[in-house]
Structure 1
């Protein structure tokens, strides 16, 4: 699990860097001319820098996700360790908990212990809509989800109104570059997304993938890294 190292693809940033070819760089070209007393000089060129997208992981730690919670937290630990400043991890249950700092521990077991101590609603109920609203109100609108690849790990069980979950998913899809839902039941034969919460979320997803095995998580790494 620690070797998966999920990471997002790069995107062009607003910043530029000098280059042998590409668009003309007017400020550098003018500075060159001033150094030659205004005489024509060789045109300076520039290109856009690449910058990795932020990765946001939202992990359902309710009772129905208990068989998968340990593995998914280890996956989140691998992602946070790969790019600590560009990866955020939160748990969803009856409330929202940020576990990014806990998962920065080098040792996976130590990271899981720290995360477990920070999560007050471990293996409790499921209020996805309320947790997502808390994330969007406090973190998402302030830039954490804007332009990011957001991955939500959940089986879709929702104790609240599915319409409220759909409204929060619509908000999240408008902010994120891509929205990925990982459902551990997706890889089981005959599975259909009939649970009310899952059905409400489906229209807003860019990718709907399985997460029930190491092979499925390897596929998820490829989905996350897709440009």
Structure 2
């Protein structure tokens, strides 16, 4: 009796009350929530570890996994400002399948549809059979399907899964690394600005004045995406181009398609609506599902745009499987030229994720010595890792050295 009285009002420890099956279900629910936060980060939200912890604590206190509960808990803890709300609602609608793609309203929060998210064990203990609310479902159906989709190969998705993938990619954000430019701006700290300081002295008639300071301006590096639309890349081209569309919306991104021709499609992808952008792109690209002439087209890119400034100091990303119908030596030569111009060269290959893959294709083998990071590009999770490489964050990119350079 004394122990029961002392524990009144507090949930019992999970280690003492949770069966093995319930603990596994709670862990599955945690994985779903973590996947949701990763999707938010890919959309550009600054969902830090502190905000993630606050989000999980809020879900733990709310009890059963209702869609409205999860929505308002995430909105209150994961959004840092007004600019984050639109991205948050898009990701939530794509991840949890909100009907109509709209966020739940406050007047609907009393009886929202059940979310396929597992109930936490502590909440179940608080709201037992005698509680006012029954325990939530024990399977993560809706949300876990989105988490599973993140790791699925794009080539094996059906029509419904592709539609969900498109919604997740529509909320994507690609940000480049920052660099210090030659321009300077006034600042409270930094180097002394002699011109502004002298002008201040003259304005005061030579009387002592406060030192004026300035600092270097930082700006994002340009990102250049070269997307392979040849026949061998047909299962992945649509998803990769929607990834490119999200990158163009972020600014300072140029996109080219490569196959038998080189086509600049930045203007077509500038449409805000992804479907309109894909329709405009389909009209502009004449070489869908054709052959591949990587070496010749890379040389054309360098002559027409790269050497004139587009590739200088930029992060250049090639999204291709590396199949080359032309001369592999030409591709190797042009890759070396590109490497000397660009700040970083990244190659994303959808075939890299397949078991037993080795870069043995002639084009891929010729290009790898000039590649700084060799990553996968077959799934949404792989594209998220690619985005982390582009912005210079820690990632699981394969360093290209040793045996792979041979």
User: Where on the TM-score scale, by shorter chain, does this alignment land: which range?
Assistant: over 0.9
Give the 5 Å matches for 1:207-222: 207-222=373-388
Give the 5 Å matches for 1:75-224: 75-83=243-251, 86-224=252-390
- Which of 219, 223, 236 lines up with 1:55 in the alignment? 223
Question: TM-score, normalising length from structure 1?
Answer: 0.97
What 5-or-longer segments of structure 2 have no aligned partner? 1-168, 394-406
Question: TM-score, normalising length from structure 2?
Answer: 0.55
- Structure 1 consecutive aligned stretches of length 4 or more whose deviation exceeds 6 Å: none
1:58, 1:151 within 8 Å by CA — same for their partners in 2?
Answer: yes
3-state SS in 1 of match to 2:170: coil
Quote the Cα distance in structure 1 between the aligned partners of 2:266 and 2:314. 16
3-state SS in 2 of match to 1:49: strand
Quote the Cα distance in structure 2 between the aligned partners of 1:13 and 1:50. 6
Match in the other structure for 1:45: 213
Q: Structure 1, residues 55-101: CA drift from partner, whole Å, max 9, x if none?
A: 10000111111110000000000000121xx1100000111000000
Match in the other structure for 2:235: 67
1:4, 1:221 within 8 Å by CA — same for their partners in 2?
Answer: no
Q: Structure 1, residues 135-186: CA drift from partner, whole Å, max 9, x if none?
A: 1100101111111111000100111111100111011111111100000011
Quote the Cα distance in structure 1 between the aligned partners of 2:348 and 2:365. 14
Alpha-carbon distance, 1:44 to partner: 0.9
Of structures 1 and 2, the one with the larger relative CO (CA 8 A, separation 6+) is 1
1:29, 1:44 within 8 Å by CA — same for their partners in 2?
Answer: yes
3-state SS in 1 of match to 2:207: coil
**Structure 1 position 2 matched with structure 2 position 170:** yes
Higher helix share: 2
3-state SS in 2 of match to 1:56: strand
Higher Cα Rg: structure 1 or 2?
2
Corresponding pairs, count = 225
What 5-or-longer segments of structure 1 have no aligned partner? none
Match in the other structure for 2:187: 19
